Amino acid sequence: MTLPKIKKTNTGNKSKAAARILRALLCFAFWIGIWYIAAAALGKAVILPMPHDVAKRLITLAGTKDFVLTCLRSLGSVFAGIFFGMAFGGVLAVLSHFIPVVKTLASPMLSVVKATPVASFIILLLFLVNKTAVPPIATSLIVMPIVYSNVTKGFSSVPREKSEVARIYRFDAVKKWKYCYLPCIMPYFAAACRSAVGMAWKAGIAAEVICSPKGTIGSALYNAKIYLESEDMFAWTAAVIILSIVIEKLIVNLILGRFEKEERA
C-alpha cells in the first residue's frame, strides 16, 4: 500500500520569519524608547540628542553627494582589507597543511597578531606607511588570523576515508581539492567570514578615526567629536551600523550562502 504524499508548504517558514521580524522590531522599539527616556532625562542635546533628530540628520546627510562618496571610500578600504586578509590567511593555511615548516614559522606570528590590540597596530602603521593605507592593512590583520585558524580546522576535519579513496583512485590535485578538501573547508571558511566581517569593519573605522584620512567615515566621526556636533556623530554611527549589516549580508549570504545550501541539500 502506497501512502499518499503530503504536500509541503512554506506556511511554517513564513510564520517563523514573521515572528523573527516582529521580535526584531519590538526589540528595536524598546531600545529607541530607552534612548528617548535617557535623552529627555539628561536634557542636553549636545551630549545625547533625541532619536528623531538623529534620524532627520541621517536622512539629510544621506541625500548629499559627499555622504555617498565618504561611505564608498570607507567601504572600498574595508573591502580591500577583508579581501587581502582572507586571501593571505587562506593561502597561509593551505601552505601550513602541506608544508609543516610553514605552520611552525607562522604560528608565533599569528599569535602575536591576535594578542596585539588594534590601536597598537594602527599607531605603529602610522610610522611605517601613508595614513590612507593604514585602515585596509589594519583590517587585513584582523581578518587573517581568523581565516587561517578556521581553514586549518577545516583541513583537520577531512575524514580519513576520503583521503584513502583519493589515494586509491589516484585523484589528481584538482580533483582531490574539489572532492576531499573543499567540502570540509568551506563551512569553516563561512564561519570565519561571519566572525571576521563585523570585526574588520569596526577595525577599519577605528583606524580611520585615529588616522583621519580625508573623506572617510572615521574622519567625519572625528570632526563631529571635535566640533561637538552630536547629531552628526550619532548619524554617522548609525550609518556605520547599517553598512556593517549590509557588508555581512553581501559577503556571507551572497558569496557563501549558495555553497551552504548545497551542503544542506
34/61 same-domain check: no
192/225 same-domain check: yes
79/104 same-domain check: yes
State yes or no: pLDDT of 126 exceeds 80: yes
Residue predicted with more confidence, 153 or 167: 153
Give the pLDDT score at 74: 93
Give the pLDDT score at 239: 92
25/135 same-domain check: no
Specify whether the CB–CB gap between 122 and 206 falls below 8 A.
yes
Of the pLDDT bands very low, low, confident and very high (cuts 50, 70, 90), residue 101 is very high
Of the pLDDT bands very low, low, confident and very high (cuts 50, 70, 90), residue 263 is low
d(CA 130, CA 40): 44
C-alpha cell at 152: 586549518
C-alpha cell at 113: 597578531
State yes or no: pLDDT of 139 exceeds 60: yes
State yes or no: pLDDT of 209 exceeds 80: yes
Q: Is residue 244 part of a domain?
A: yes
State yes or no: pLDDT of 163 exceeds 90: no
Of the pLDDT bands very low, low, confident and very high (cuts 50, 70, 90), residue 24 is confident
Burial bucket for residue 43 (CB in 10 Å: 0-12, 13-18, 19+): exposed
Give the pLDDT score at 172: 72
75 phi-psi bin (left φ>0, alpha ψ -120 to 50, beta other): alpha
Residue predicted with more confidence, 261 or 113: 113
What's the mean pLDDT in 207-211? 91
How many structural domains compose the chain? 2
Specify whether the CB–CB gap between 69 and 58 falls below 8 A.
no
d(CA 122, CA 203): 9
C-alpha cell at 227: 566640533
Q: Is residue 4 part of a domain?
A: no
66/192 same-domain check: yes
235/257 same-domain check: yes
243/193 same-domain check: yes
pTM (2 decimals)?
Answer: 0.80
Q: Which domain holds residue 35?
A: 10-43
d(CA 192, CA 145): 9
Least confident span in 52-56, 90-94, 98-102, 255-259: 255-259
Task: Please report where in the chains the cell 574588520 appears, as a residue.
Answer: 200
83/168 same-domain check: yes
